[in-house]
Amino acid sequence: HPPFDVNAVRRDFPILQERVNGRQLIWLDNAATTHKPQAVIDRLAYFYEHENSNIHRAAHELAARATDAYEGARSKVARFLGAASAEEIIFVRGATEGINLIAKTWGAQHVGEGDEIIVSHLEHHANIVPWQQLAAAKGAKLRVIPVDDSGQVLLDEYGKLLNARTRIVAVTQVSNALGTVVPVKEIVAMAHAAGAKALVDGAQSVSHMRVNVQDIDADFFVFSGHKVFAPTGIGAVYGKREVLEDMPPWQGGGNMIADVTFEKTIYHGPPTRFEAGTGNIADAVGLGAAIDYVERIGMENIARYEHDLLAYATHGLLTVPGIRLIGTAADKASVLSFVLNGYTTEEVGRALNEEGIAVRSGHHCAQPILRRFGVEATVRPSLAFYNTCGEVDTLVAVLQRLASGRTSPPR
């Protein structure tokens, strides 16, 4: 039987009651962003009603409350990721800003002419472009781990790319375009054996599975709060303490300094060294509340539920005539990506929207991997733990009607 009561979970997410085009919303665009439980919405309101202040600088009651809430959220992120300490967690806007921070600080310091950076063919543009920019600035080379026809990375080919010039390997844990679960632990171990550092992009993994950065042994790990039921505009970088301690700051300003004269500035240690200016305090606190929420349900329970739902949805989609599923790796999470004979991806997206079903259609900010499969765009339903088999049935029924050229009856 299911590991938690999905109907009770659904009642925690007010937007799931929303009606779209006369139907109850079916949200299958979780890889783009996730919805927020009432607990997160309430926590934001509570912060602004009872705790709002800038942090660290002022010695008054609300400053103390805001600081406790913000640093409490940092500790929650550290525990959620299995980090050794809260000092290893830097708050950023999201995965994109996190990867840019690492490329601009660690990258600028450690990547030089003739050096090599490895990414996989699966990467989101956020884990390609910052490395490309760094490589161009430094005269370094970007190398790409190829994938097989199922959309899984080829570890043997990866092994051949590693060499003494490899400085960093940056890979996603789950592909946002295909759903492939990448064997990041092996990839990190192979990077370390070659003397390189490793970054794992967890934007698509943390909401679907238990993550432990110490078990993976990643030097860096990034994710976005908004994809794990938290507000937009907040995310985190995990960095191993010894790696962060050696890293130069990124932006300069208040908060990140220990002492400033016109001659010289002494910076704080991590993580404050990387948090110049007033941070996104309330949304960080909201992220802490989102982590509390998913931990109450249990990431193992969420993973088990979604595994069965993904299998159910995969089976259902394969009954649609003329469908081509892209991304068929044995180990997948959340994402289904497909094209449908006779229809553009926009047409499929529009037909689903008319039925109140939200999916993404387009290139998903991952053009290289779609082109690897000979397409420019796919339709991408993506699941979360609040989705149900009933919702999947509706999706499949609408696609079957579309595929057979029939118009849809009211539902």
30, 166, 204, 388: residue in contact with ligand PMP (rule CB under 6 A): 204
Which residue among 108, 365, 389, 397 contacts ligand PMP (CB under 6 A)?
Answer: 365
**φ/ψ of residue 53, rounded to 5:** -170, 160
Q: Assess contact for 251 and 91: CB atoms under 8 A.
A: no
Q: Is residue 197 a contact partner of residue 244, using CB atoms and an 8 Å limit?
A: no
> Cβ closer to ligand PMP: 64 or 365?
365
Instruction: Select the residue interacting with ligand PMP from 77, 95, 370, 399 (CB under 6 A).
Output: 95
Smallest distance, ligand PMP to C-beta of residue 379, A: 16
224 touches ligand PMP by CB under 6 A: yes
Q: Which of 26, 75, 399, 28 is nearest to 236 (CA)?
A: 75
Compute the CA torsion angle 137, 138, 144, 145 (nearest 10 deg). Answer: -140
The stretch near ligand PMP (CB under 6 A) out of 91-99, 213-221, 307-315, 341-349 is: 91-99
Task: Tell the smallest beta-carbon distance from residue 66 to ligand PMP (Å).
Answer: 24
Determine how many CB atoms are found less than 10 A away from the CB of residue 396. Answer: 20
360-362 and 378-380: which strand pairing?
antiparallel
Is 180 or 394 the residue whose CB approaches ligand PMP more closely?
A: 180
389 is catalytic: no
Query: Of residues 67, 176, 255, 388, which one binds ligand PMP by CB under 6 A?
Result: 176
Contacts 24+ apart (CB under 8 A), 70-73: 70/279, 70/281, 70/284, 70/285, 72/285, 72/288, 73/284, 73/285, 73/287, 73/288, 73/291
Strand order in the sheet with 89-92: 89-92, 235-239, 220-224, 197-201, 166-172, 116-120, 141-145
For residue 409, the minimal CB distance to ligand PMP (Å) is 35
DSSP assignment, residue 150? T
Backbone φ, ψ for residue 324 (5° rounding): -125, 110
Cα 134 to chain centroid distance, Å, stands at: 22
Which of 116, 121, 166, 170 lies closest to 138 in space, CA to CA? 116
Residue 63 CB, shortest distance to ligand PMP, in Å, is: 29
Closest separation in Å from C-beta 161 to ligand PMP: 20
Binding residue for ligand PMP, selected from 126, 187, 302, 352, defined by CB under 6 A: 126
Give the containing element (helix H, strand E) for 296.
helix 281-297
232 vs 301, beta carbon nearer ligand PMP: 232
Least Å distance, CB 362 to ligand PMP, is 11
Is 166 one of the binding residues for ligand PMP (CB under 6 A)? no
Minimum CB distance to ligand PMP, residue 224 (Å): 3
Could you tell me if residue 193 is left (phi over 0), alpha (psi between -120 and 50 degrees) or otherwise beta?
A: alpha
Give strand pairing partners of 265: 260
Residue 120 pairs in a beta bridge with 145
The catalytic position among 63, 108, 365, 389 is 365
Q: Which is nearer to ligand PMP, 94 or 288 (CB)?
A: 94
Among 124, 273, 363, 380, binds ligand PMP (CB under 6 A): 124
In the complex, least distance from residue 97 CB atom to ligand PMP, rounded to whole angstroms: 7
Q: How many residues bind ligand PMP, per CB under 6 A?
A: 13
Tell the residue number behind the tokens 């649609």, with chain if given.
320
Q: Which is nearer to ligand PMP, 172 or 361 (CB)?
A: 172
Task: Pick the stretch among 122-130, 131-139, 150-158, 273-281 that binds ligand PMP (CB under 6 A).
Answer: 122-130
Taking residue 156's Cβ as centre, other Cβ atoms within 10 Å add up to 8
Stretch that binds ligand PMP, among 5-13, 179-187, 196-204, 329-337 (CB under 6 A): 196-204
> Which listed residue (105, 172, 337, 361) binds ligand PMP by CB under 6 A?
172
**Quick one: which segment of 90-98, 144-152, 270-278, 389-397 binds ligand PMP (CB under 6 A)?**
90-98
Cα–Cα distance for residue pair 51/285, rounded to 1 Å: 11
Taking CB under 6 A as the rule, does residue 287 contact ligand PMP?
Answer: no
Active site residues per annotation: 365
Where do contacts with ligand PMP occur on this chain (CB under 6 A)?
94-96, 124, 126-127, 172, 176, 201, 203-204, 224, 365
